Amino acid sequence: MEAYKAWVRRNKGCVHSLDSLANGLTWVLPELFSNSEIGTEAVTSIVGILTTINEHIMDTAPDERHTGSAYASSFRYGLCLSVLSNLETLVEVVAEQYYGDKKWNVIAVTEAIKVIVRLALFRNCGYKMLLQGGETPNVEKDSDDTSLQHRIGGFQKLGGRHGPGWLQDNHGQNLWNVEGRALSALSRFRESALMVSDPSWMQRIKHAIMEPQTSITERPTLSRILSEKGVNGALFILGEVLFITRPLIYVLFIRRYKIRSWIPWCLSMAMDFIGVGFLSHVTRSGKSRKEQRFHLSDSENDEVKRRKLLWALYLMREPFFNKYIRKKIESTGKLLEPVPLMGTLAEKIAELIIGVQARYTYMSGS
Local confidence pLDDT in tens for the 366 residues of the chain: 778 888 888 888 888 888 788 777 776 655 555 567 788 888 888 888 988 888 888 877 765 455 555 556 677 898 999 999 999 999 999 999 999 989 999 999 999 999 999 999 999 999 999 999 998 888 765 434 434 344 334 333 334 434 444 344 444 444 444 445 554 554 554 555 444 455 554 555 445 445 444 444 577 888 888 888 889 999 999 999 999 999 999 999 999 999 999 999 999 999 999 999 999 999 875 555 455 578 889 999 999 999 999 999 999 999 999 999 998 998 888 888 888 888 889 888 998 899 889 999 999 988
- What integer pLDDT is reported at residue 164 of this predicted model? 40
- What integer pLDDT is reported at residue 6 of this predicted model? 85
Q: Is the dihedral of CA 158, 159, 164, 169 positive or negative?
A: negative
pTM score of the predicted model: 0.74
Task: Judge whether 307 and 244 are in contact, CB under 8 Å.
Answer: no
- What integer pLDDT is reported at residue 70 of this predicted model? 56
- What integer pLDDT is reported at residue 32 of this predicted model? 57
- What integer pLDDT is reported at residue 272 of this predicted model? 96
- What integer pLDDT is reported at residue 277 of this predicted model? 94
- What integer pLDDT is reported at residue 316 of this predicted model? 94
